Amino acid sequence: MAVLFFNEDTKLNLKGKRLLKKWIKESVYNEEKTLGNINFIFTSDKYLLEINNKYLSHNYLTDIVTFDYCENNIVNGDIYISIETVKNNSYRFNVTYLEELRRVIIHGVLHLIGYSDSDEKEKKEMREKEDFYLALLKNLS
Tens of pLDDT along 76-122?
999 999 999 999 999 999 999 999 999 999 999 999 999 999 999 99
Q: Is the pLDDT score of 136 beyond 90?
A: yes
Residues present in the chain in total: 141
| Long-range contacts of residues 70-76, Cβ cutoff 8 Å, at least 24 apart | 70/36, 70/112, 70/114, 71/36, 73/32, 73/33, 73/34, 74/33, 74/34, 74/35, 74/36, 75/28, 75/33, 75/34, 75/35, 75/36, 75/38, 75/109, 75/112, 75/113, 76/36, 76/37, 76/38, 76/112
Per-residue pLDDT band for 57 (boundaries 50, 70, 90) equals: confident
Cβ distance 38 to 76 under 8 Å? yes
Q: How far is CA 119 from CA 23, 123, 125, in A?
A: 27, 6, 10
What pLDDT sits at residue 131?
97
What pLDDT sits at residue 1?
81
What pLDDT sits at residue 40?
98
What pLDDT sits at residue 3?
97
What pLDDT sits at residue 37?
98
Where do the domains of the chain lie, and which CATH numbers do they carry? 2-140 (3.40.390.30)
What pLDDT sits at residue 59?
86
Predicted confidence (pLDDT) per residue in 5-43, tens digit: 999 999 999 999 999 999 999 999 999 999 999 999 999
Return the axis-axis angle of helices 83-92 and 97-113, rounded to nearest 10°.
Answer: 120
The neighbour count for residue 106, using CB atoms within 10 Å, is 24
Q: Is the pLDDT score of 47 beyond 90?
A: yes
What pLDDT sits at residue 51?
94
